Chain A
Amino acid sequence: MGKKKSKKQSRPWCWYCEKDFDDDKVLVTHQRAKHFKCDVCGKKLTTAGGMAVHAMQVHKVEITKVPNALQGRETLEYEIFGMEGIPHEDLLAHEQALSSGENPAKRFKAGSTSEYSALTPEQIQKQIAAHKAGGAQPAATPPPPAAGYFQHPPGAGAPPPMASAYPPQYSQYYQQQPQYPPRPPPPMGFRPPPYGAPPPGFGGLPPHQWTPPAGAYGSPAPGYPPTPNSAGMAVSPVSPVRPPVAAGYDASSPPIAPPTSAAAVPPYAAPYGSPAGYDSIAAAFHGQNPAAYDPHAQQVPAVPAVPQSLAPGSKQKPTKIQLIYNDSEISPEEYRASLDKYRFEQTVQ
Chain B
Amino acid sequence: MDTTSSQFEIANPPSDGISKVQFAPEDSSLLLVSSWDKTATLYNVDENTVKHKFEHQAAVLDCCFSSNDRAYTGSVDRNVRELELDTGNSRVLGSHDDAIKCVNWCSLTQTLFTGSWDKTIRTWDPRSAEPLQSTYHQPHKVLSMDILDDKLVVAMGNRHIYIYDVRNMSETLQKRESSLKYMTRAIACLPSKDGYASSSTEGRVAVEYFDPSPEVQSKKYAFKCHRQVHGDTEVVYPVNGLAFNPVYGTFATGGSDGIVNFWDGINRKRIRQFPRYPDGIASLAFSHDGKKLAIACSYTYDEACGGT
Contact = CB atoms under 8 A, between A and B. Distances in A.
Nearest to A56: B269
Interface residues of A, number: 53
B227 A276 contact: yes
Nearest to B99: A337
B222 interface: yes
Given A275-B228, A287-B179, A344-B58, A333 B307 contact: no
A279 B221 contact: no
Interface stretch (A40-48, A184-192, A318-326): A318-326
Contact of B222 (A290, A324, A331, A346): A290
A316 B233 CA distance: 10
B237 interface: yes
Interface stretch (A96-104, A197-205, A266-274): A266-274
Contacts of B223: 279-284, 295
B305 A318 contact: no
B236 A320 contact: no
A327 B236 contact: no
Contacts of A25: none
Contacts of A327: 183, 201, 304-305
Given A276-B225, A276-B273, A322 B236 contact: yes
B154 interface: no
B218 A286 contact: yes
Interface string B208-232: 0000000001101111111111011
Contact of B261 (A276, A285, A313, A323): A276
Given A269-B270, A276-B227, A344 B301 contact: no
Interface string A120-161: 000000000000000000000000000000000000000000
B263 interface: yes
Contacts of B231: 308, 318
Interface string B262-277: 0100001111110110
A272 B275 contact: yes
A288 B179 contact: yes
Contacts of A84: none
B228 A276 contact: yes
Contacts of B236: 321-324
Nearest to B204: A290
Given A316-B229, A328-B182, A342 B273 contact: no
B222 A322 contact: no
Given A279-B224, A285-B221, A326 B305 contact: yes
B229 A312 contact: yes
Given A269-B273, A337-B59, A342-B76, A330 B224 contact: no
B57 A276 contact: no
Given A325-B183, A332-B301, 5 more contacts: A318-B233, A323-B201, A326-B308, A332-B300, A344-B57
Interface of B: 17, 19, 36, 57-59, 61, 76-78, 99, 101, 117, 141, 143, 157-159, 179, 181-183, 185, 201-202, 204, 217-218, 220-229, 231-238, 256-257, 259, 261, 263, 268-273, 275-276, 300-305, 307-308
19 contacts: A57-B269, A272-B259, A275-B234, A280-B223, A282-B221, A286-B217, A286-B221, A319-B232, A321-B233, A322-B235, A322-B308, A323-B202, A324-B257, A325-B238, A325-B302, A328-B158, A332-B238, A332-B302, A342-B76
